[in-house]
Copies of this chain bind each other. A is one copy, B any other.
Amino acid sequence: MFNGLKKKWTDFMNNEELKNKIYMIIYDTDTPLGKLFDVFLICFILLSVFIVILESVFPPSFKPYLHVLEWVFTVFFTLEYLLRLYSAPRPSKYAFSFFGIVDFLATLPTYLSFFFTSAHSLLAIRILRLVRVFRVFKLFSYWREGEILLQALKDGSKKIIVFFVFIVTLVVCLGTLMYIVEGGREGSSFQDIPTSIYWAVVTTTTVGYGDITPVTGAGRFLSAIVMLIGYTVLAVPIGIFSASMISEHKKHKAIPCPHCHRPGNEHDAVYCKFCGKQLHEEEKEEWEDKDPIITSDGEIK
């Protein structure tokens, strides 16, 4: 019997046809079944996240009911993970990819709670699966919009990194300065430099909780300067992103002329705005072929 089972298992593991079918359903979004699976999966993820959120709100008496649901999700997610591993062309590549690790971690906590009671709090990791929700854009016509946004972010990423190094240096310097000015006093909320740096971040980003505020005149004067700096510095990432959004906008629209090679024709142009010749020659030829046919026949086809 064990041999029979082993053979069946080997057959199952090498069943390329089945693998392809499952791959189509799980990984693809072009087939109707693939779309259905994606919609189903996204609903399941949203529901499981909802359960995790509810558990933190409800009194302990509700927990047994939520536990049942939790196990349902865990079993489903485990099955999905195993099928993904099974049908992936290179299982190890999937297992160590970002999504592979997230999918694995999402199933783990419930199993671990058998052995460690504290492991249950790890359930919140499941929320990371929300990232899969972005697949929803693929199902509708929003994918291209998302790609333009991503491209604009990527174009500006180097500038954003430079900006972040600058901001971190700035808040460390300003935080330390504030610690020197306000820190020594009795009952001051600027107890140590990390707290002061935290205050500098809260202030430059214009969040302003108000849990740590200056009380002396000098501290308030310095704060006002920090705020005005933050206010101006706020313009930097916006300027970066605006500039790359605008150039991305143009790139997706501008057509170069095949005659005078000048770029900059808008996407709805028919004739080049610089030399006056037609932009899309092939279409024109098609039209010219059709044209004599109409004249020889004396009627429109």
Q: List the interface of chain A (C-beta within 8 A of B).
A: 49, 52-53, 56-57, 121, 124, 127-128, 130-131, 133-134, 136-137, 142, 145-146, 148-149, 152-153, 158-167, 169, 172-173, 176-177, 179-180, 183-184, 192-195, 197-198, 201-203, 205-211, 213, 217, 220-221, 223-224, 227-228, 230-232, 234-249, 260-278, 280, 283
When C-beta atoms are compared, the residue in chain B nearest to A122 turns out to be B180
Q: For residue A20, give the distance in angstroms from its CB to the closest CB of chain B.
A: 31
Given A53-B193, A193-B57, decide whether A235 and B232 contact each other with a Cβ distance below 8 A: no
Could you tell me the distance between the alpha carbons of A275 and B284 in the complex, rounded to whole angstroms?
Answer: 13
Which residues of B have CB within 8 Å of A130? 169, 172-173
Q: For residue A84, give the distance in angstroms from its CB to the closest CB of chain B.
A: 21
Could you tell me the distance between the alpha carbons of A167 and B224 in the complex, rounded to whole angstroms?
Answer: 12
Could you tell me the distance between the alpha carbons of A283 and B257 in the complex, rounded to whole angstroms?
Answer: 14
Partner of A242, one of B208, B246, B272: B246
Q: For residue A140, give the distance in angstroms from its CB to the closest CB of chain B.
A: 10
Which residues of B have CB within 8 Å of A243? 242, 245-246, 248-249
Is A232 a contact partner of B228 (Cβ separation < 8 A)? no
Which residues of B have CB within 8 Å of A206? 205-208
Could you tell me the distance between the alpha carbons of A261 and B281 in the complex, rounded to whole angstroms?
Answer: 11
Could you tell me the distance between the alpha carbons of A180 and B123 in the complex, rounded to whole angstroms?
Answer: 10
Partner of A194, one of B164, B180, B217, B245: B217
**Which of A177, A269, A272 has the largest number of chain B CB atoms within 10 A?**
A269
Given A145-B159, A242-B238, A247-B249, decide whether A169 and B210 contact each other with a Cβ distance below 8 A: no
Q: For residue A251, give the distance in angstroms from its CB to the closest CB of chain B.
A: 10
Is B264 a contact partner of A270 (Cβ separation < 8 A)? no
Given A271-B272, A273-B268, A275-B271, decide whether A227 and B242 contact each other with a Cβ distance below 8 A: no
Is A124 a contact partner of B193 (Cβ separation < 8 A)? yes
When C-beta atoms are compared, the residue in chain B nearest to A265 turns out to be B273
Could you tell me the distance between the alpha carbons of A176 and B126 in the complex, rounded to whole angstroms?
Answer: 10
Which residues of B have CB within 8 Å of A228? 164, 167, 201, 205
Is A165 a contact partner of B136 (Cβ separation < 8 A)? yes
Is A124 a contact partner of B242 (Cβ separation < 8 A)? no
Which residues of B have CB within 8 Å of A160? 232
Which residues of B have CB within 8 Å of A261? 280, 283
Could you tell me the distance between the alpha carbons of A244 and B165 in the complex, rounded to whole angstroms?
Answer: 22
Which residues of B have CB within 8 Å of A248? 243
